[in-house]
Structure 1
């Protein structure tokens, strides 16, 4: 391939990246730099990792990359995961109370108290859910409520919670908890690397919800000296506002 052909291909690559990443300039600059350093090869790497639209459908529907199927929802609030954004933009928030939580200790205190009082359904979805001190505490409560007859669904991200032990999942499932993994890691996992589930959502009895930036892990409680105090924001929603629909 001559210099002119290489120049044309690289120019096309830069235009594609600039158009696709127009809303993320820092990402566009990174890919443009890769394209300059590795002409043509940079575009191949971009196709593999960034998953342009015309390649995404085929890869995400590959047997190795499809998430576990989710069962039909069993409570009015369960559709929060799939419908909250579209419904929220159309109808806006309904009546209810919103409580701002500004650190992990405050969030876990409220969350644990609410989980212990769950009567009918609990729906849990996290990017990172650890099997550490706070994770074990919440898991034990979920198992206890499931054994008491509460219907519980547990969803975790395959990358953010990749170290969550299989034997703990088995304990939860033995108690009757429905467990699913979003994009579980399986070879080749590169096409799904940038398609992760960063949600942190808990919905209790369809009338109370927790959501925001706090995952489940000791680093949010100050128990890890190398992390220190972790300042993040979470919300407790009570009433119709917790459902985001209807």
Structure 2
């Protein structure tokens, strides 16, 4: 290739980079993300043009269609559940008990409900023992949604369990994410379909979004007969059972929910299934609440009008008066969440965050390490779990509030992924979560300033470069 041709190609790439940078400035949701993309596209278009095609979009397309589908879903649920309004009205707690979380209700347009029975599932063994027990007892409907399903020992066990219930006449719908489950072989899906299971990959379906690695469905949901719901951080794969070094043992948490808010978990699945298939899955109303917990199901995503996941964390942190303990595999907070954490420290709140001591994604780990060092300087108590890898997504606020679900402390969860968590107000359940986290902290080491200052110059440089990529990770 002649030098003149190389020069022409380089010029063309830079012109494309400039034009694409203009698109990033106009379309990327946050200023930090816009700056990161624009700078990279102008300076290094050879390296950033192709990634922008897959990672650049931060606004989900199809809002009008999604709203129309939500209206259809509501009419469908109303037909299937004639006593819905009276049932839910009976389970509304007194408004004065929830004033600290009023903004969450307004933002999500989702109320808290009272009367839930909760079960904390502290690891993979407890989680899948409970899930497979519920599947085996299913009589009518099983709805399942995971970001990752592997065709390994655990995945094959799930396949066998679903085929057995399908043969018994149970209606089964399964959603898996097309990117998260990219390694799932076609034969796995075909075997389930041949056995009567309705199974589909989540995709945004629009031509441009088909190229996107953003807008992934990161939710983990199991619903059985309309009254038992499981949400949390675990996917279907042997690594989540701690069977795959070097990240073993795997530290993760799930929970089971029974009560009126199960209907909101159901509604989240209905929306996603309707989006992917154009159809509505079976719906069964929840049973009467048989517990004492007050729960709100927060289903967030890039189709929301606001950045609901980020604002949810900000509200929880600002509501804390005594403590806010958080666990996440990734700690790449945006400015609003990081500011809320620092302000909580200044209020005298015990702020602790548990992150991994080993990486599953190197760039995110490096960015998390620099944020952890800066958090330590601000008085936030940062800890690294020593054995294995921590993947759990748990929050503990004061003496009575906890949240368990799929939400990480990073931009992908805050703005780009579809997520779901259960926010629970119950002293007894919060005490169980506290005991679990205290055990985790006892197996951790504190992050100190030496972790960054004592690192080599190349590693510190890598951390800072990775941090610049935080808005687009």
Conservation of the 8 A alpha-carbon contact between 1:22 and 1:28: yes
1:128 to 143, 148, 155: 148
| Equivalent pairs, count | 216
Q: Describe the SS at the equivalent of 1:96.
A: strand
Any idea what the Cα deviations from partners look like across 1:134-178, whole Å, max 9, x if unmatched?
111111111100100100001111111122222222221122111
Correspondences of 1:102-181 after superposition (within 5 Å): 102-181=122-201
Alignment of 1:42-61 (within 5 A): 46=52, 49-51=55-57, 53=59, 56=61
Task: Look up the SS of the partner of 1:193 in the other structure.
Answer: coil
For 1:108 and 1:120, how far apart are their aligned partners in 2?
Answer: 20
Aligned alpha-carbon RMSD (Å): 4.0
Structure 2: runs of 5+ lacking an equivalent: 1-13, 63-75, 82-103, 268-284, 286-473
Task: Check whether the contact 2:223–2:229 (CA below 8 A) recurs between aligned residues.
Answer: yes
Larger RCO, structure (CA 8 Å, separation 6 or more): 1
Rounded Cα–Cα distance in structure 2 between residues aligned with 1:52 and 1:184: 13
Matched with 1:221 is 241
| Higher Rg of the two aligned structures | 2
Q: What corresponds to 2:40 in structure 1? A: 34
- The question of whether the paired residues in 1 share the 8 Å contact of 2:29 and 2:59 is answered with no
- The offset of 1:45, in angstroms, is 6.0
Residues 132 and 189 from structure 1, CA distance in 2 versus in 1: closer, same or farther, beyond 3 angstroms?
A: farther
Which residue of 159, 175, 183 maps to 2:203?
A: 183
- The match for 1:17 is 25
1:196 to 202, 207, 216: 216
Q: Which position in structure 2 is the counterpart of 1:206?
A: 226
CA contact (8 A) 1:130 1:217 kept: yes
- The answer to whether the 8 Å contact 1:158/1:184 transfers is no
Give 3-state SS (helix, strand or coil) of 1:137's partner.
helix
Deviation of the 1:190 alpha carbon: 6.3
Structure 1 position 101, deviation (Å) = 2.0
Contact 2:148 2:181 in 1 (8 A): yes
Runs of at least 5 residues in structure 1 that lack an aligned partner in the other structure: 1-5, 58-71, 77-84
Show CA shifts across 1:74-123 (max 9, x none): 987xxxxxxxx999933423332122223211111111111111110000
Cα 1:75–1:198 change in 2 (3 A) is farther
* Counterpart contact for 1:133–1:218, Cα < 8 Å: yes
Compared CA separation, residues 29 and 233, structure 1 to 2 (3 A): farther
How far has the Cα of 1:133 moved from its partner?
0.9
TM-score by length of 1: 0.71
CA gap of 1:241–1:224, structure 2 versus 1, over 3 A, is same
CA–CA distance in structure 2, aligned partners of residues 19 and 165 of structure 1: 35
**Residue 192 of structure 2: SS of its match in structure 1?**
helix
Equivalent residue for 1:242, pick from 239, 247, 262:
262
Mark the CA change 1:114 to 1:213 in structure 2 (over 3 Å): closer, same or farther: same
Inter-CA distance 176–96: structure 2 relative to 1 (3 Å threshold): same
* 2:256 corresponds to 1:231: no
Q: Structure 2 matches for 1:68-87, cutoff 5 A?
A: none
Flag the 1:75–1:201 CA change in 2: closer, same or farther, 3 A: farther
**What CA deviation, in whole Å up to 9, does each residue of 1:165-220 have, x standing for no partner?**
222222211221111111299x9886222121111111100000111111011101
